[in-house]
Amino acid sequence: MPSVQIPFYLDWQFWAAIAAFLALILSQLPPVRLWLLPRRLEAEVHHKIQITHKIGNPNLGLFISIRNTGGRNLRIRAMELSVKRDGEALGRYPAQNYFERLSDQSMVLFVPFTLKPGESWEHGTNFFNEFDRATEKSFRENASSLTTDIGAKLEARPDSDKTPVVAEPALVDPFHRLFDRLFAWAPGEYIVELKVRAEPGSASFSQRYRFTLFESDTMELRSYADDFKFGGSIMYNSQRHSGLFVPLQPHNG
């Protein structure tokens, strides 16, 4: 009796093989639900902001946590803080470097990075504008002269003399002029807007915050200039110049 050939579409083994193949393919892909999520990031900041300066040049420090809450990779291109005092724009300060670990003493350069779905980036980040080329050149030349003067005076004094060495006033004056030109931390109510620029642009994030500087805060920040004659912030980084940690609150206005 001739055998009856069963059509392939009625063969359960055929469909079992197809199901196994599809299961293998799907296991190598992200869950479909992730494809349906929009590209989006969320950012949170610590409740205090660091306010300081380098020879008057404003610096801001902020611990930031960024998380990719969408379904596809995001490229974080840049971050910046826009600052206003009492409604007047002071400037825009890009993220320049950050601490890789909380225990680190030195910072690394901020560069664009990619976050996969669910990944986070959490670091203490420093925001400031670099000196323009002319200012940087002048700063280096003046710093070299001041360093040479203080070094020579240290060599010449007796070993028993531990009093601080003071640079010649003419060598310190350029730093006070630079400080007077750049210093911006006057008393007042400040609004800072954190902007995180992502790719695609629709995933970018922005949020406003506010903080207050009092007269005593400004006086303390100004007092850093008293150390210029000793080389503070010029020859070496003084711990006293690390700045103020000021309470930061969300601003919804």
Can the peptide bond before residue 200 be classed as cis, meaning omega within 30 degrees of 0? yes
Burial of 147 (0-12, 13-18, 19+ CB in 10 A): middle
Nearest alpha-carbon partner for 68 in 39, 97, 101:
39
For each of the domains in the chain, give its residue range(s) and CATH number, in order of start: 39-134+160-250 (2.60.40.10)
Model pTM greater than 0.85?
no
Residue 170 CB neighbours (<10 A): 10
The answer for residues whose C-beta is within 8 angstroms of residue 175's C-beta and 6 or more apart is 55, 142, 146, 225, 228, 234
For the cut 50, the answer to whether the pLDDT of residue 32 exceeds it is no
Confidence band, pLDDT 50/70/90 cuts, at residue 45: very high
Q: CA–CA separation, 199 vs 205, rounded Å?
A: 11
For the cut 60, the answer to whether the pLDDT of residue 98 exceeds it is yes
Kindly state the average pLDDT of the residues 180-201.
96
Residue type, 64: I
| Lowest pLDDT segment from 15-29, 192-206, 236-250 | 15-29
Q: What is the pLDDT of residues 161-179, one digit of tens each?
A: 888 999 999 999 999 999 9
The proportion of the chain whose per-residue pLDDT surpasses 90, expressed as a percent, equals 71
Q: What tokens were used for 203?
A: 């995933």
Kindly state the average pLDDT of the residues 26-52.
72
Residue showing tokens 């080389």: 231
Kindly state the average pLDDT of the residues 135-139.
97
* pLDDT of res. 239: 86
Confidence band, pLDDT 50/70/90 cuts, at residue 5: low
For the cut 50, the answer to whether the pLDDT of residue 2 exceeds it is yes
* pLDDT of res. 129: 97
The answer for residues whose C-beta is within 8 angstroms of residue 36's C-beta and 6 or more apart is 71
* pLDDT of res. 34: 46
For the cut 90, the answer to whether the pLDDT of residue 12 exceeds it is no
Question: Is-contact 60 97, C-beta < 8 A?
Answer: no
Q: Beta partners for 47?
A: none
Kindly state the average pLDDT of the residues 71-94.
95
Confidence band, pLDDT 50/70/90 cuts, at residue 36: very low
Question: Is-contact 213 186, C-beta < 8 A?
Answer: yes
